[in-house]
């Protein structure tokens, strides 16, 4: 048997094996043309809005200018440029079903909170067929909904702001969430759900109260987010000073935007 012919390279069973040599599926590894391959499209961001062009070219220096003139943010890359230290927290992933003629269609709904623990927080909700797709979409929507958080003091104005400036309330569905200023060193006296939102917003000390069906986590998160957004919805004496208005960025850089638009057409 020592002089027996060597086995066929195509399978080991006379050419009828399962392996098909170099033509098999094994050649499609991760380094080849697999579906998981991603080009560096995020690095080559091409803005499609006026605000995106101004941000990419350095005409708008901070996100406070965007908030000052209430400019709509339609591209999440704008937030990535201004707030590179954002952290995301997946609050909940729940399956939702829809009855169709073919049966039940199940999708996944993701709630994602995002913040830099320094006065900016956002909340995104996305539904998709796959969990990873839902989380990715919720992160993008959370970046587009980032809002500024106004912080204040409980009694003496010593050190950095550490709590909410006044009692604020948010409501979503049957859930009511109320934020109450607390002395320095108190910490976050809150349930796990609002505690995550408040810590991402940069609030260190706060009392909270809640009413309603708080086990509905989606409404609980939204009520807390609405309460935080209400911190900038009222005027206090320290904001009574006369404001020196400036031109809107779209008006200030209108000539630049026209030149950029003509250049892109050519």
Task: Give yes or no for a contact between 113 and 221, defined as CB atoms under 8 angstroms apart.
Answer: yes
Give the mean model confidence (pLDDT) for residues 217-238.
92
- For the chain, the C-alpha Rg in angstroms (whole number) is 27
Q: What are phi and psi of 107, to 5 degrees?
A: -130, 170
Round to whole Å and give the CA distance between 252 and 91.
Answer: 41
The lowest-confidence range among 4-18, 96-110, 189-203, 214-228 is 4-18
Round to whole Å and give the CA distance between 148 and 146.
Answer: 7
Contacts of 177 (CB under 8 A, 6+ apart): 169, 170, 171, 194, 208, 209, 210, 220, 223, 224, 226, 227
Give the model confidence (pLDDT) of 154-194 as tens digits: 988 889 999 999 999 999 999 999 999 999 999 999 999 99
The lowest-confidence range among 11-25, 141-155, 159-173, 228-242 is 11-25
The whole-number pLDDT of residue 165 equals 92
Task: Give yes or no for a contact between 198 and 188, defined as CB atoms under 8 angstroms apart.
Answer: yes
Distance of CA 203 to the CA centre of its chain: 19
> Across the chain, what does the average pLDDT equal?
85
Residue 69: CB atoms within 10 A of its CB come to 15
Task: Tokens for 196, please give them.
Answer: 């995550």
CA nearest to 84, candidates 118, 125, 134: 118
Residue 129 has pLDDT above 50, yes or no: yes
CA nearest to 219, candidates 91, 90, 96: 91
Residue 69 has pLDDT above 60, yes or no: yes
Contacts of 220 (CB under 8 A, 6+ apart): 172, 175, 177, 191, 193, 194, 210, 214
Residue 34 has pLDDT above 60, yes or no: no
Round to whole Å and give the CA distance between 194 and 198.
Answer: 6
Residue 40: CB atoms within 10 A of its CB come to 6
Would you put residue 185 in left (φ > 0), alpha (ψ -120 to 50) or beta? left
């Amino acid at each position: 048997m020592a002089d027996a012919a060597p086995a066929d390279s195509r399978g080991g069973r006379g050419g009828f094996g399962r392996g098909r040599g170099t033509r098999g599926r094994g050649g499609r590894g991760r380094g080849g043309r697999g579906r998981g391959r991603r080009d560096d499209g995020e690095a080559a961001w091409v803005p499609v809005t006026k605000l995106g062009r101004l941000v990419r070219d350095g005409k708008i220096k901070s996100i406070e200018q965007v908030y000052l003139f209430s400019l709509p943010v339609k591209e999440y890359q704008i937030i990535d440029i201004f707030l590179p230290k954002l952290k995301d927290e997946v609050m909940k992933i729940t399956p939702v079903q829809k009855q169709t003629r073919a049966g039940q269609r199940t999708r996944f709904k993701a709630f994602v909170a995002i913040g830099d623990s320094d006065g900016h927080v956002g909340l995104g909700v996305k539904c998709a067929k796959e969990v990873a797709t839902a989380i990715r979409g919720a992160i993008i929507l959370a970046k587009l909904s980032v809002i500024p958080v106004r912080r204040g003091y409980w009694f003496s104005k010593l050190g950095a702001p550490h709590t909410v400036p006044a009692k604020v309330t948010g409501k979503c569905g049957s859930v009511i969430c109320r934020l109450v200023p607390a002395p320095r060193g108190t910490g976050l006296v809150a349930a796990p759900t609002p505690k995550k939102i408040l810590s991402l917003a940069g609030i260190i000390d706060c009392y909270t109260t809640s009413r309603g069906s708080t086990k509905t986590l989606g409404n609980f998160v939204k009520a807390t987010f609405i309460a935080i957004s209400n911190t900038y919805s009222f005027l206090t004496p320290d904001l009574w000073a006369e404001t020196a208005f400036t031109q809107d960025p779209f008006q200030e850089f209108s000539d630049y935007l026209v030149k950029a638009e003509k250049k892109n057409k050519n």
